[in-house]
Structure 1
Amino acid sequence: MKKILLLLALLILNISFGQQSTTTYYFIRHAEKVDNSQNPDLSEKGLKRAELWNKIFSEISFDKIYSTDYKRTTQTASPTATAKKIQIKLYNPKTLNIESFKKETLGKKVLIVGHSNTTPTFVNQIINQKIYADIEDGTFGNLYMVTVVDNIISYQLLKFE
Structure 2
Amino acid sequence: MRLNISLLLVLLLSCMAAADTVYLVRHAEKQPQGQDPALSVCGKQRADALADSLAGVKLAAVYVTPYQRTQQTAAAVAKQQQLDITPYDPRQPEVLVQQLKALSQPALVVGHSNTVPQLVELLSGIAMAPLTEQDYDLLYQVKLTAPISVRISRQNFRCR
How many aligned residue pairs are there? 140
Indicate conservation of the 8 Å contact 2:30/2:39, yes or no: yes
Q: Does 1:142 align with 2:121?
A: no
Q: Mind listing any 5+ residue stretches in structure 2 that lack a counterpart?
A: 1-15
Shift of 1:21: 5.0
Q: Does 1:153 align with 2:151?
A: no
Q: Please point out which of 61, 65, 68 is paired with 2:62.
A: 65
Q: Please point out which of 65, 70, 74 is paired with 2:71.
A: 74
Indicate conservation of the 8 Å contact 2:142/2:151, yes or no: yes
What is the letter of the counterpart of residue 119 of structure 1?
V
Q: Mind listing any 5+ residue stretches in structure 1 that lack a counterpart?
A: 1-18
Q: 1:55-134, aligned counterparts within 5 Å?
A: 55-98=52-95, 100-105=98-103, 107-130=104-127, 132-134=128-130
The 2-side partners of 1:93 and 1:28 are apart by 14
Shift of 1:78: 0.2
TM-score (norm 1): 0.80
The 1-side partners of 2:143 and 2:153 are apart by 14
Q: Percent identity?
A: 30
Displaced runs of 4 or more, over 6 A = none
What is the letter of the counterpart of residue 134 of structure 1?
P
Specify the alignment match of 1:30 in structure 2.
27
Indicate conservation of the 8 Å contact 2:123/2:144, yes or no: no
Indicate conservation of the 8 Å contact 2:94/2:122, yes or no: no
**Secondary structure of 1:97 counterpart:** helix
Larger C-alpha radius of gyration, 1 or 2? Answer: 2
Shift of 1:135: 1.0
**Secondary structure of 2:56 counterpart:** coil
**Secondary structure of 1:152 counterpart:** coil
The 2-side partners of 1:57 and 1:46 are apart by 17
Specify the alignment match of 2:50 in structure 1.
53
**Secondary structure of 2:148 counterpart:** strand
More off after superposition, 64-73 vs 95-104 = 95-104
